Amino acid sequence: MKKLVLPIVFFILSGCYYDSEEALYGKPGSGTCDTTVSKFSTQVKPILQSNCYVCHSNTSASSSGAGIQLQDYANVKVYVDNGKLVSSIEHTSNFPMPKGGGTLSACDISIIKAWITKGALND
């Protein structure tokens, strides 16, 4: 009898795991990825900071980032204007970024693109 209890308990528990897409990722369009307030200082820069500054900060760029600095607004704007920021994070260029480490989340990419669409301001 004891041998039967464990599989039954397991069956019940696994049946209770609620894994609908909505529960895990939020409803599509429900605002879980908020791009309405995409600002350089509060949204874009933190994304670059956590994913890119290991190679592209003002200090790391010369050693590991091919001299490309993405820390200050003026430097980032250069790569916005020549299209290389977006092509690199969307992996449509020859230099997919972050180099050697996957892709930014879809939400992070949308936030950066929304900021660019709004004029890529130093806000």
Report if residue 113 touches ligand HEC, rule: CB under 6 A.
no
> What percent of the residues of the chain are helix, what percent strand, and what percent coil, each to the nearest 5?
55, 0, 45
The binder of ligand HEC chosen from 44, 104, 116, 120 (CB under 6 A): 104
d(CA 123, CA 101): 28
Report if residue 68 touches ligand HEC, rule: CB under 6 A.
yes
DSSP string spanning 4-19? HHHHHHHHHHHHH---
Count of H-run helices and E-run strands, the chain: 8, 0
Q: Report residue 9 as tokens.
A: 């308990």
Q: How far is the CB of 6 from ligand HEC (least distance, A)?
A: 47
Q: How far is the CB of 93 from ligand HEC (least distance, A)?
A: 5
d(CA 84, CA 80): 6
Report if residue 38 touches ligand HEC, rule: CB under 6 A.
no
Q: Which stretch binds ligand HEC (CB under 6 A): 4-12, 36-44, 85-93, 113-121?
A: 85-93
Residues that bind ligand HEC (CB under 6 A): 48, 51-52, 54-56, 64-66, 68, 70, 79, 84-85, 88-89, 93, 95, 97-101, 104
